[in-house]
A and B are shown apart, each in its own frame.
Chain A
Amino acid sequence: MVEKILAAKAGKENVSPGDLVNVEVDLALGNDITAPVAIKEFERFGLDKVFDPEKIVLVPDHFTPNKDIAAAEQAMVLRNFARDYGIKHYYEVGRMGIEHALLPEQGLVRPGMVIIGADSHTCTYGAIGAFATGVGSTDLAAAMAIGEAWFRVPSTMRFIYEGELPRWIGGKDLVLLTIGKIGVDGARYRAMEFCGPAIENLSMDGRLTMANMAIEAGGKCGYVQPDEITFKYLEGRVNQPYQAVYSDRDATYEETYTFDVSELEPQIAFPPSPDNVRPVSEASGIELQQVVIGSCTNGRIEDLREAAAVIKGRKVHPGVRLLVIPATQQIYRQAMDEGLLAAFIDAEAAVSTPTCGPCLGGHMGILASGEKALATTNRNFVGRMGHPESEVYLSGPAVAAASAVAGRIVHPGEVIS
């Protein structure tokens, strides 16, 4: 699928892994950390316009609402650039969301597109059948000027998930299982195709979670081929026409992994690396001071529903601070309408406006030395959420909610029954 998308956008009949191609970019994304650097580079071109003001997306989400003066200045660079160059897709605080949750929700992502973003989790959009990958700020500057980017065509690894997912198991568990198996550079330079019966039945939110973490295995992109679930998701969001692209029946894969997931336990990534993965039964007893439910990985409505289902009518453990961060304004609103926010607040959780915040140790929930957190985010490197001597464990939303109640890492079944 990736080879076909890249060939089409490079104006070629076909391309093969290893080829270098210059392709048209359908969408170029930057945030309040990376875009100011790109804007500085862009200014060196001396242009009075960008290649296409409709194809650039700027989202101030990392340190917003502005956490300090430096962050405020960075956000202002973005705002002014968006105004001066007529950037159509600029999302101000109050209308924004975490970029990788926001773009699909707003219908900016369509199958067959080439999307680059100066943020490593740009790979999220592969869930919708696009070729999407993270790049550096210089790439973003160049794309804003000429609407192109160069790529080395990746080879593809296939991951087949057999069986039916047990209760409380979702996209996060599948992707953690995968990263644990192949390691943080197991898919370096390569595309990851997620398929099989468990994926065919997985919701779009679950697929977005999986593609989001392709980068944690070193992947260039991760994707699911478009199907009925994709088209249903796009209905009412996307009004431009699009051309879905599929892998050929006889496509070549560099490697194929098959997992039987019908008896899978919830998966936990132990610090200090997302590939340090073990089943929840080997994590029980780890006491927590903070639990975070949110981020571009698991801050979508289904994640909040899953967490609220566990927490409703219960209280957060007195030793734990539970932070719930809906990923976009729309998700926030929907969670309110569905009574999910009430469930969290009644349980004595703190509910925040959309922001990356604690996910990158930016603000809104920094850990002190020696503290342990369980988060539905995607990275648990040393110091990722605060002090270098704090620790981050990663899980899906149901385990996170259950663990907030128990005060230690537990299987959701332990809290529910």
Chain B
Amino acid sequence: MIFEGKIWIFGDNIDTDAIIAARYLSTVDPQELAKHLMEDIRPDFPGLVKKGDIIVAGSNFGCGSSREHAPLAIKGAGVSCVIARSFARIFYRNSINIGLPILECPDDLTGLVDGKDVLQVNLEQGLITHAASSRTFKAAPFPPFMQDLINRGGLVEYVMSRLQGQV
């Protein structure tokens, strides 16, 4: 899978409350949740983010509660991929399970230009390319099993294919 998208940059320890505040948890509709994505830390963000964009963050992205609403809100906004130095464990699982591609990249990408620079991401190879300068960054490649989950749309779809004997 290859994505190309404009980047939005966030810092370290972005918790699930910042991604989607608890007061919006009464729905699980990704589009509804997306209307409030990152609202508490960046109120204009829901209006800025476009389909295909990429979120770039520091370490421990998605820490805090185990709410699945956080990756759902990101997916609902059409974000193609999240790249962070590291992710909190349950956020990582939940993202894969709902079919949101995420990549861990130890390189510091926060020097890029927020809302302007474009990155190209090759999920299989874990290769990130800065479109303008052709600079490349290396992330941990995405294992085939996880790619399969993402391609199918998530864990529920994967289990359905299993139940229908297609895997």
Is residue B93 within 8 Å, beta carbon to beta carbon, of the partner chain? yes
Partner of A136, one of B59, B66, B145, B158: B66
Taking the closest CB of chain B, its distance from the CB of A290, in whole angstroms, is: 23
Is residue A145 within 8 Å, beta carbon to beta carbon, of the partner chain? yes
Contact A41:B156 (CB < 8 A) given known A136-B68, A188-B88 = yes
Is residue B60 within 8 Å, beta carbon to beta carbon, of the partner chain? yes
Is residue B98 within 8 Å, beta carbon to beta carbon, of the partner chain? yes
Within 8 A of B (CB), among A128-170: 134-139, 141-142, 145-146, 150
User: A24-65 interface mask toward B, CB cutoff 8 Å, 1 = contact, 0 = none?
Assistant: 000000000010010001001101000000000000000000
> In the assembled complex, which residues on chain B have CB atoms less than 8 Å from the CB atom of A220?
89
> In the assembled complex, which residues on chain A have CB atoms less than 8 Å from the CB atom of B93?
135-136, 139
The answer to whether B90 and A136 touch across the interface, beta carbons within 8 angstroms, is: yes
The answer to whether B86 and A188 touch across the interface, beta carbons within 8 angstroms, is: yes
Partner of A146, one of B60, B149, B159: B159
Identity of the chain B residue whose Cβ is nearest the Cβ of A119 in the assembled complex: B66
Is residue B18 within 8 Å, beta carbon to beta carbon, of the partner chain? no
The answer to whether A146 and B163 touch across the interface, beta carbons within 8 angstroms, is: yes
Contact A185:B88 (CB < 8 A) given known A45-B163, A136-B94 = yes
Is residue B127 within 8 Å, beta carbon to beta carbon, of the partner chain? no
Is residue A182 within 8 Å, beta carbon to beta carbon, of the partner chain? no
The answer to whether B86 and A138 touch across the interface, beta carbons within 8 angstroms, is: no
Partner of A137, one of B68, B145, B146: B68
> In the assembled complex, which residues on chain A have CB atoms less than 8 Å from the CB atom of B146?
20
Identity of the chain B residue whose Cβ is nearest the Cβ of A151 in the assembled complex: B93
Contact A44:B156 (CB < 8 A) given known A120-B66, A136-B66, A150-B145 = yes
User: B63-104 interface mask toward A, CB cutoff 8 Å, 1 = contact, 0 = none?
Assistant: 110101000000000000000001011100110011000000
Interface size class of B (residues with CB under 8 A): 20 to 34
Taking the closest CB of chain B, its distance from the CB of A75, in whole angstroms, is: 18
> In the assembled complex, which residues on chain A have CB atoms less than 8 Å from the CB atom of B89?
188-189, 218, 220
The answer to whether B88 and A37 touch across the interface, beta carbons within 8 angstroms, is: no
Identity of the chain A residue whose Cβ is nearest the Cβ of B69 in the assembled complex: A37
> In the assembled complex, which residues on chain B have CB atoms less than 8 Å from the CB atom of A185?
59-60, 63, 86, 88
User: B29-65 interface mask toward A, CB cutoff 8 Å, 1 = contact, 0 = none?
Assistant: 0000000000000000000000000000001100110
Is residue A201 within 8 Å, beta carbon to beta carbon, of the partner chain? no
CA distance A41 to B158 in the complex (A): 13
Contact A188:B90 (CB < 8 A) given known A20-B146, A138-B154, A139-B97 = no
Is residue B143 within 8 Å, beta carbon to beta carbon, of the partner chain? yes
Identity of the chain A residue whose Cβ is nearest the Cβ of B140 in the assembled complex: A18
Is residue B160 within 8 Å, beta carbon to beta carbon, of the partner chain? yes
> In the assembled complex, which residues on chain A have CB atoms less than 8 Å from the CB atom of B59?
185
Is residue B155 within 8 Å, beta carbon to beta carbon, of the partner chain? yes
CA distance A150 to B94 in the complex (A): 12
> In the assembled complex, which residues on chain A have CB atoms less than 8 Å from the CB atom of B145?
20, 22, 150
The answer to whether A188 and B97 touch across the interface, beta carbons within 8 angstroms, is: no
CA distance A145 to B162 in the complex (A): 10
> In the assembled complex, which residues on chain B have CB atoms less than 8 Å from the CB atom of A136?
66, 68, 90, 93-94, 97
Taking the closest CB of chain A, its distance from the CB of B113, in whole angstroms, is: 28
> In the assembled complex, which residues on chain A have CB atoms less than 8 Å from the CB atom of B154?
138
Is residue B2 within 8 Å, beta carbon to beta carbon, of the partner chain? no
Identity of the chain A residue whose Cβ is nearest the Cβ of B67 in the assembled complex: A136
Is residue B131 within 8 Å, beta carbon to beta carbon, of the partner chain? no
CA distance A227 to B70 in the complex (A): 41
CA distance A300 to B64 in the complex (A): 26
The answer to whether A142 and B163 touch across the interface, beta carbons within 8 angstroms, is: no
CA distance A139 to B68 in the complex (A): 11
Taking the closest CB of chain A, its distance from the CB of B65, in whole angstroms, is: 8
User: A314-333 interface mask toward B, CB cutoff 8 Å, 1 = contact, 0 = none?
Assistant: 00000000000000000000
Identity of the chain A residue whose Cβ is nearest the Cβ of B68 in the assembled complex: A136
User: A107-135 interface mask toward B, CB cutoff 8 Å, 1 = contact, 0 = none?
Assistant: 00000000000111000000000000011
Is residue B28 within 8 Å, beta carbon to beta carbon, of the partner chain? yes
> In the assembled complex, which residues on chain B have CB atoms less than 8 Å from the CB atom of A41?
156
CA distance A138 to B160 in the complex (A): 13
CA distance A34 to B158 in the complex (A): 21
Taking the closest CB of chain A, its distance from the CB of B101, in whole angstroms, is: 15
Within 8 A of A (CB), among B109-167: 143, 145-146, 149, 154-156, 158-160, 162-163
The 6 closest A-B pairs by CB, nearest first: A138-B97, A136-B94, A142-B159, A20-B143, A20-B145, A136-B68
Residue positions of A touching B, CB distance < 8 A: 20, 22, 34, 37, 41, 44-45, 47, 118-120, 134-139, 141-142, 145-146, 150, 184-185, 188-189, 218, 220, 381
**Sampled A-B contacts (11; CB under 8 Å):** A45-B160, A136-B68, A136-B97, A138-B94, A138-B97, A141-B156, A142-B158, A145-B159, A185-B88, A188-B89, A218-B89
